[in-house]
Amino acid sequence: MKTILIFVSTLDGKITKWGDPMIRSWSSQDDQDYFDAIWNDTRIIIMGSGTFRPDPVKPDSKHLFLVLTKHPDKFKSYEVPGQLEFTNESPLHLIERIKEGLEKKILIVGGAQIATAFLREQLIDELWLTFEPKIFGMGAGIVISEKLDIKLNLISCDRVNEIGTLMTKYKVLRNEREMNIK
Ligand SMILES: NC(=O)c1ccc[n+]([C@@H]2O[C@H](COP(=O)([O-])OP(=O)(O)OC[C@H]3O[C@@H](n4cnc5c(N)ncnc54)[C@H](OP(=O)(O)O)[C@@H]3O)[C@@H](O)[C@H]2O)c1
């Protein structure tokens, strides 16, 4: 099973424009189409409550959305068992539980707190990062401010439009042998 962390970012590493949660107000149509295709093709999608709250996902029978929150009770009214669930499980426990199924890949769609928690625990296999050729100066980053030391290798980088939106895929290096590739 592959765990994929996916984000769209500016060149200065911002995943929100000055804190505004509405990402589609600035991401390219190409990225939105790409994201929608991946979203439709993945059954299990994990996000933090900070990503869920501003734009709650609509449950459907093709997905199991798992939203991390310290207070699952607060979200009871949204819950649809098997489709939209809220959990206070640790990232490690959650991934171990999902691994017991037959899932080929799972998608972690942010935000920064959740990305940091999964990266810290070495639970991410690949980072799929779209770079939009923009600079916002202020806004959230792909991780929160803490000491991390994560090494990655570029798998692919595709220019997808005139303005130069880049769609990249990185493998997260997790063991000694991989690290020695440098
Ligand atoms: N550009 C992009 O690709 C992209 C993608 C996703 C999100 N975003 C943006 O990022 C922003 C949200 O990011 P964020 O960092 O503020 O929030 P987030 O990572 O989506 O969610 C943070 C929340 O997750 C819960 N949480 C964190 N760690 C947990 C743990 N170990 N166990 C259980 N629950 C845990 C807490 O919820 P409770 O407070 O409920 O306990 C916490 O407040 C939004 O503005 C969104 O639009 C951008």
The rounded Å distance from CA 112 to ligand 1 centre is 6
- With H, G, I as helix, E, B as strand and everything else as coil, classify residue 66: strand
- Type of residue found at 158: D
Q: What pLDDT does residue 101 have?
A: 87
Q: Whose CA is nearest to atom 7 of ligand 1?
A: 111
Q: Whose CA is nearest to atom 38 of ligand 1?
A: 69
- ∠ CA(101), CA(7), CA(42), 5° rounding? 30
Going by C-alpha positions, the residue among 113, 88, 98 that lies closest to residue 42 is 98
State the average pLDDT over residues 75-86: 98
Q: Whose CA is nearest to atom 10 of ligand 1?
A: 111
Atom of ligand 1 nearest to the CA of 91: 31
Q: Model confidence over 90-127: pLDDT tens digits?
A: 999 999 999 988 899 999 999 999 999 999 999 999 99
Alpha carbons 141 and 128: distance in angstroms, whole number: 15
Going by C-alpha positions, the residue among 79, 63, 60 that lies closest to residue 71 is 79
State the average pLDDT over residues 158-173: 98
| Cβ pair 15, 7 in contact under 8 A | yes
Q: Model confidence over 22-58: pLDDT tens digits?
A: 999 999 999 999 999 999 999 999 999 999 999 999 9
The DSSP element (H or E) to which 33 belongs, if any, is: helix 29-40
Both tokens of 83, joined, read: 């489709």
| Cβ pair 105, 1 in contact under 8 A | yes
Both tokens of 24, joined, read: 């589609």
- ∠ CA(66), CA(70), CA(73), 5° rounding? 80
Alpha carbons 87 and 102: distance in angstroms, whole number: 21
Going by C-alpha positions, the residue among 134, 132, 129, 111 that lies closest to residue 171 is 129
Residue 176 has pLDDT above 80, yes or no: no
Both tokens of 15, joined, read: 């995943």
Topology of the domain comprising 2-179: Dihydrofolate Reductase, subunit A (3.40.430)
Q: What pLDDT does residue 30 have?
A: 98
Banded pLDDT at 181 (limits 50, 70, 90): low
